[in-house]
Amino acid sequence: MNPGRLSHLEQLEAESIHILREVVAEFDRPVMLYSIGKDSSVLVRLAQKAFAPAPLPFPLLHIDTTWKFRAMIEFRDRFARENGLDLRIHTNRRALAEGASPFAWGSNKYTQVMKTHALLDALREGGYDAAFGGARRDEERSRAKERVLSFRDAYGQWDPKNQRPELWNLYNGKIRKGESIRAFPMSNWTELDVWQYIWQEDIPIVPLYFAAPRRVVEREGTLLMVDDERFPLLPGEEPRTEVVRFRTLGCYPLTGAVRSNAVTLPDILREMVEATTSERQGRLIDHDEAASMEAKKREGYF
């Protein structure tokens, strides 16, 4: 730290901590959505800093679709154990029993049931009135429109045309019973900021972010990793081993890999600085239809 001056990252960190503390101070039952990705890892670290030396004053919630990469689940369980986190896991069991899968149901229907509905159920069952997420405004253009404290009605719905004005850092946390707030402490971070912070702070992340030989098939221009035997191969498709990594992590059948040789964090940073495509071009659910993310968020998607 330069005496008397905060770097850009230090300013972002201070702002995030302020938001985390405001929400904890103003709400009865906050929870942190934990999706295992790099942003989640950073968000957990920011929360640890905000409340140190006390432990996190809220549980973590993972909406497990059962279609995550195996490496993610391994990482999740180790990360929670090593950090002493109170991790709750919720899965939409009923839909699963009915055969919900991204292959059988299509990405749209599957996301709605296994992610949006599951999330709303879990928030209601837990009685949570505020939920933190690691979303950033630079990710996607409807995210760019969202407030730091984003109001959701009793059905978890977002009304982008009628958001509360949000001035200075005076966040309005007033809600009625049943309504809730989604809070985004990392709103002003960019993808590059996140990588730089991970490197500087030595934050553990899922190994899938680093390049390694992996079994993939190329489908409609997207490299999909064959993570387990549930992956239905189309006629003529033969998985081949390529050196790839992921810029973003979600359900493995819906997340595209990129060809890369970046095996260390400095390699990733170098690659990021020279990147010509955004991280979400590998996210299939963003491209289902125009304004897709907005439509999902209106329904309650995080």
Euclidean distance between CA atoms 25 and 68, whole angstroms: 33
Cα gap 133→253, rounded to integer Å: 23
| Pick 4 or 213: Cβ nearer another protein | 4
Instruction: Please report the beta strands in 104-202, taking only residues with DSSP state E, as ranges in sequence order.
Output: 130-132, 149-152, 180-183
Tokens encoding 120: 């709303």
Q: How many amino acids of this chain bind another protein (CB under 8 A)?
A: 69
Q: Where are the alpha helices (DSSP H) in 68-227?
A: 70-82, 93-97, 102-111, 118-126, 191-201
Our CB check for another protein shows the closer of 67 and 158 to be: 158
| Near another protein by CB under 8 A: residue from 85, 95, 175, 251 | 175
Identify which of residues 122 and 211 has a Cβ nearer to another protein in the complex. 211
Supply the minimum distance, in Å, between the C-beta of residue 245 and another protein. 18
CA distance 216 to 103: 16
Among the listed residues 106, 127, 160, 178, the single contact to another protein using CB under 8 A: 160
Under 8 Å CB-to-CB from 144, ≥6 apart: which residues? 137, 138
Residue of the chain from 142, 150, 248, 260 that contacts another protein (CB under 8 A): 142
| Helix residue ranges per DSSP H, 226-281 | 265-273
Does 202 interact with another protein (rule: CB under 8 A)?
A: no
Q: Please report, as ranges, the residues that interact with another protein according to CB under 8 A.
A: 2-11, 13-15, 17-18, 21-22, 24-25, 48-55, 137-138, 140-145, 160-161, 163-170, 172, 174-176, 187-188, 190, 192, 196, 200, 266, 269-270, 273-278, 281, 290-291, 294-295
